[in-house]
Chain A
Amino acid sequence: MEKLIGILKSVCPGVDFENEKALCDDGIINSLDIVLIVSELMDAYGVEIDIDDLVPENFNTAESILALVEKAQG
């Protein structure tokens, strides 16, 4: 989780990824942020994330983003 939080904060500085529970639903991150985050995650974890997975539910919390990475890792 620490590695993931570091990546998220490098893309979206100032966002409280440890505690926010509705990052997309509250408008704290938007679709452009999601594209940047996913690009970084694909590089950092060597995984492939499908464009159909870029839905708000997968990006509302750091935990849901980690679950997406773990799903992509198989």
Chain B
Amino acid sequence: MEKISELQAVKSAIRRHFKAGMATNCVLNDRDLIREIEAGALYTEENEGALLILRDRGSHYILNYYVNSIPLPPLPETGLVCEITARGGENIRRDIVSALAELGFSEGKRRERLCRGAGEPEENERGDIEFSAAEPCDLGAIEELFCTSFDALTGCLTPERELSERIAAGEVFVARAGGEIAGAIETVSDKNFSSVRHLAVSEAFRGRGIGAGLVRAYLSATGGKRSFVWTEPAKAAAYKTYLKCGYLEDGNVSVVMTKGC
């Protein structure tokens, strides 16, 4: 693997494959690439037909591919995760799934994207749970909650620095019960829409509508912008929470592939 230390090096490589008509599972923008380079976490593997970008997450790497022809270059014998998305299940690139399988990947969970059209949410009822934007001092508790709620490998957990930036940007909300964090939602805002990255409710507080309260608090803070979330139908509680808040399936699906874990 080659460690990337300059933005232009990786952009030149992407440009080479783009010109040849590439397929990709993730378009990293300059800001994302710079953040990974500054964290010393960006690596590549490349051959004539493909550029593989690996983002180091300590225990594993997240794999993004830019492929114009198969076979793919060899990959390190370590934990790897790759998510392949498409509009509609039949459009998932089976050739790339097969190429990854040949490199030792196996198919794991499937996710669906849900969309909620623009519109203000219902107001949260006043009660013993308080919903508000997270404070910088909540970072540790939020990280711990997400770490216990999501798989370290496939949960796409946000690195601490990035999560801290999102808290500072007012994109993370918490539910407080007394002095305790009962739940948290991490989101990302774009121009006219926003996306949910992680939603978790502490085990002791589940079944009290806190998940829906967090979603409503976040939607309200965005002024009711259109919202997206990738979620697993298998996670029934979260899935139902989103449906209850007005989200609907929008036809985008993904399959998560892992290797060496």
Contact = CB atoms under 8 A, between A and B. Distances in A.
B27 A34 contact: yes
A13 B87 contact: yes
Contact-residue bracket for chain A: 20 to 34
Interface string B19-44: 10111111101000000000000000
Interface residues of B, number: 24
Contacts of A54: 27
B85 A27 contact: no
A26 B22 contact: no
Given A13-B87, A26-B192, A32-B25, A48 B228 contact: no
A22 interface: yes
Contacts, number: 49
A32 B24 contact: yes
Given A35-B18, A39-B22, A51-B14, 17 more contacts: A12-B87, A14-B251, A24-B191, A25-B190, A25-B192, A26-B193, A26-B226, A27-B192, A27-B226, A31-B29, A32-B25, A34-B27, A35-B22, A35-B24, A39-B21, A43-B21, A50-B15
Contacts of A32: 24-27, 85
